[in-house]
Structure 1
Amino acid sequence: MQHETATTRQFRFSQRQIDALPPHDHDSASAMAEYSDTEVVGLKLAVSKSGRKYFWHRYRFRRRKKVLKLGEYPSVSVTDARQMVHENKSMLARDLDPADERNKRRKVPTLAEFAAETYLPYAKLHKKSWKDDESKIRRDIGAMIGSIPINEITTRDVMQLHTAIGNRAAAGTANRYLALLSGMFSLAIKCDLLEKNPVKSVKKFKEADPRERYLSGDELGRFLVALNVEAGKTAANAIVMLLLTGLRRMELFSLRWTEVDLSRATIRLLHTKSGSGRTVVLNSSALNILQKIHQDAAPGCPWVFPAYRGDGHLVDVRKALARAMARANISDLRPHDLRRSFASLGINAGVDLYQIKDLLGHSSVAVTQRAYAHLQQNTLRSASEVVAKTVGAASSKASEPAILHLSDGPKVGTEKIGTP
């Protein structure tokens, strides 16, 4: 009889046979009836008194008997259960306990959990733009891959998100998402949650050349006249100051009076894009505007440019900018273009790139050169003309007649000069 019981409890698992198994005997002292698969050693099926069925894996690890629940049938199929046992045996072969490895995996947070519990608190301390990160995570990253455990996110997952963003936004925007993910995964590596950054092998999209929109000449004059219609208003003051200082939008809008020294005509920015503070030297026009704003400022208000509502600071000038553009009959101008205009006006007036770099607060002159080198052509041509005039003056004083009459342009003297 015992032989028959052992035989009926061991068979090659199949859907048909498992479906046919009855619930465990209600009068039995045991809670479950256990069956063994003859194809994969260690795979068990437990049937409860209510008829529910569960797959288990029984194994030994370092001479100790252990059991690991695989899942409930039929949500977990016979094929799935056998595959799980094979994977567990592979871990056992490497002296790893499948139960311990599962516990480790279950302790790993999803990407959304990691962002909320670890990344964003870290970003708030180290990044001025952490709110932009929070917005990207909430709007897109969390929705697309936020539910995946962070150590299970693949390069393919990242590529799909990158492509999805690139299909609806500019290449630069998609690349900013990629940079954010890379930073998140780098932090996860430091937290021992990952060994490899899945962003590393994802190629960035080719971005368009840097925007070259800036005001100059007659257009600049028309713009200032149009803006003067709203002179004295907070938004108009801020727009003029962007043009006169070259500050980044939020560097100016979030400026506090404690950061302004009117007696020394300087601004001390405590929080900048690079993360370190810097001093901004004010020209006379910018200083004059700040003095007038200070005279009219509400007592106790900490902001140089307070918001129209609430107790915060100004955050947007696009409406005021659009009105000025309409009056001046100009188009395609953004707040950041005023910073570009400040730099271009300086460069075209002969200001050195190293000085422009300091005025703009760039981290290196290479950044300035990439953005504004094309504007140096007229300045360099003027400098070259100075050299040419010096050489021409020296040539006219020479005792021997010069082959080239430099003051008359590229005319040839007594012999013909070929083009190299």
Structure 2
Amino acid sequence: MGKNKSEKFNFTMSRLNALEPGPKRKYVFDSKQPGLRVSVTKTGVKSFQFQAWSKTLGKPLTRTLGRIETMSIAEARKQAAALLAEINQGTDIERKKQDEKRQRQLEPTVKEFAVEYIEKYAKINKKSWKEDQRILNVNILPVIGSLKMSEVKRRDLIAVIDNVADRGSLVMANRTHALLSKMFNYAMERDVIELSPVYGMKKRTSEKPRERILSDTEIVEFWNALGSSPGEMILKMILATGQRPGEVRLAEWTEIQIQNALWTIPSDKTKNNLTHVVPLNEMAIEIIKQMKLKSDGSRYVFPGKSKQKPLTNTSPIHRMQKIILKLGWTEKATPHDLRRTVRTNLAKLGINKIVAERLLNHKEQGISATYDRHDYLQEKTAALSKWNNRLKQLLTGKEGKVIKIREAV
């Protein structure tokens, strides 16, 4: 079987699966349904196709129906019979498919445009595009995914937001609102819709900037409650360096220079898309050395269960909440609050505001962002050394030692 390019037989899955590829693409035809065939490429890809002669156009018309592993023979025969009827009525099924595709592009559903938004905007412009995808899948598409973008009304979006708010997730309702705004504005830019239905919609709740910082007593209690698992060592690293939880979580051994006491975070991992050099103080180096003993060949400083992947972004959050619950604190705290705690203590230690902001890699505004190209490495080193001493003093009652680094990176 398979050598004859025009072989015809009654399709069964066992016979189709037994077809073997040849040096060129070949076709086998169904003896039961006129026009139905299976294409077998030289790489072994098998697809149901329909082809029949159009008397109206004086040429054969072809339509690919689907892979044999994802479509049943019964469904393929059903579609082939419908297409044959259309051809007999004079329909150009190839032109019709092109017109339908163009119509989908001109008037996509929310689900179809969401794919375009993720691929052509979010993945290119947002490091958090996976969160956008999650919000779409969970909050948006189940409610309005089948509607055409041009048909979506503000009332439809209110229903989306209501569903989220009714779960008690007011902050997530705001996040969903923001994503809808971004996606429909992008649809306007792409000339898919004329006006955004999100315009004029207010957020469900006002979000005040978090102000939570750990007191000296809480710092000591929290640090002493931390174990040596990657999820808890990450929390120590955040508190020792003040760096963003996500950037600590994704740290790789290729970015660490223990001898020079430096950690270089590449631009594709930082929030402001700028390479960030972090001087490592005594406590940070001790954390890194402990993780090195457990690395077991992982590329990540804080590996996940598979070793070749980093910890999930929720792991440090969950570990912190469990520790806070164990400590019996009445006020919650997050990994980012540890970073705010470091920034506040740098101010208490008299660290220059510019140096502190550079150390935390906050994006600068105004003319200094354009003209100030000083790397502040020595100043950042001195700042983190001071914080190291203060943290050491809190934890042990003794001063920590200042870590010196080489000038060259």
Give the secondary-structure state (helix, strand or coil) at the position aligned to 2:214: coil
Distance 1:319 1:123 in 2: 27
Give 1:187 shift. Answer: 2.4
Give the secondary-structure state (helix, strand or coil) at the position aligned to 1:279: strand
8 Å contact kept, 2:139–2:176: no
Residue matched to 2:343: 343
Residue matched to 1:277: 275
Give the secondary-structure state (helix, strand or coil) at the position aligned to 1:268: strand
Structure 2 spans left out of the alignment, 5+ residues: 1-98, 367-409
Residue matched to 1:289: 287
Residue matched to 1:352: 352
Give the secondary-structure state (helix, strand or coil) at the position aligned to 2:138: helix
Residue matched to 1:361: 361
**Taking structure 1 as reference, are residues 327 and 112 closer, same or farther at Cα in structure 2, changes over 3 Å only?**
closer
Q: 2:233 aligns with which of 227, 234, 237?
A: 237
The structure with higher relative contact order (CA 8 Å, sep 6+) is 2
Give the secondary-structure state (helix, strand or coil) at the position aligned to 1:317: helix
What is the 5 A alignment of 1:91-240?
Answer: 104=103, 107-120=106-119, 122-227=121-226, 230=227, 232-240=228-236
Distance 2:238 2:358 in 1: 16
Give the secondary-structure state (helix, strand or coil) at the position aligned to 1:159: helix
Aligned residue identity for 1:199: V
Distance 1:149 1:125 in 2: 25
- 1:157-178 residue CA offsets vs partner (Å, 9 max, x unmatched): 3333234323434443222212
Larger displacement relative to structure 2 (311-320 or 325-334) = 325-334
Runs of 4+ residues deviating >6 angstroms: none
Distance 1:155 1:261 in 2: 53
**Taking structure 1 as reference, are residues 113 and 207 closer, same or farther at Cα in structure 2, changes over 3 Å only?**
same
Residue matched to 1:334: 334
Give the secondary-structure state (helix, strand or coil) at the position aligned to 2:355: helix
**Taking structure 1 as reference, are residues 279 and 198 closer, same or farther at Cα in structure 2, changes over 3 Å only?**
farther
Distance 1:156 1:323 in 2: 40
Distance 1:322 1:174 in 2: 23
Alignment of 1:256 onto 2:252:
yes
Distance 2:345 2:195 in 1: 46
What is the count of residue pairs matched by the alignment?
263
- 1:136-169 residue CA offsets vs partner (Å, 9 max, x unmatched): 0001110111111112222333333234323434
8 Å contact kept, 1:141–1:161: yes
Give 1:238 shift. Answer: 1.1
TM-score (norm 1): 0.56
Aligned residue identity for 2:244: R
Residue matched to 1:311: 308
Residue matched to 2:320: 321
Distance 2:328 2:154 in 1: 48
Structure 1 spans left out of the alignment, 5+ residues: 1-99, 367-420
Give 1:127 shift. Answer: 1.6
Give the secondary-structure state (helix, strand or coil) at the position aligned to 2:263: strand
Give 1:329 shift. Answer: 4.2
Aligned residue identity for 1:197: S
TM-score (norm 2): 0.57
What's the C-alpha RMSD, in Å, of the aligned pairs?
A: 2.9
**Taking structure 1 as reference, are residues 207 and 171 closer, same or farther at Cα in structure 2, changes over 3 Å only?**
farther
8 Å contact kept, 2:249–2:310: yes
8 Å contact kept, 2:118–2:129: no
8 Å contact kept, 2:117–2:183: no
**Taking structure 1 as reference, are residues 112 and 233 closer, same or farther at Cα in structure 2, changes over 3 Å only?**
same
Give the secondary-structure state (helix, strand or coil) at the position aligned to 1:222: helix
**Taking structure 1 as reference, are residues 152 and 345 closer, same or farther at Cα in structure 2, changes over 3 Å only?**
same
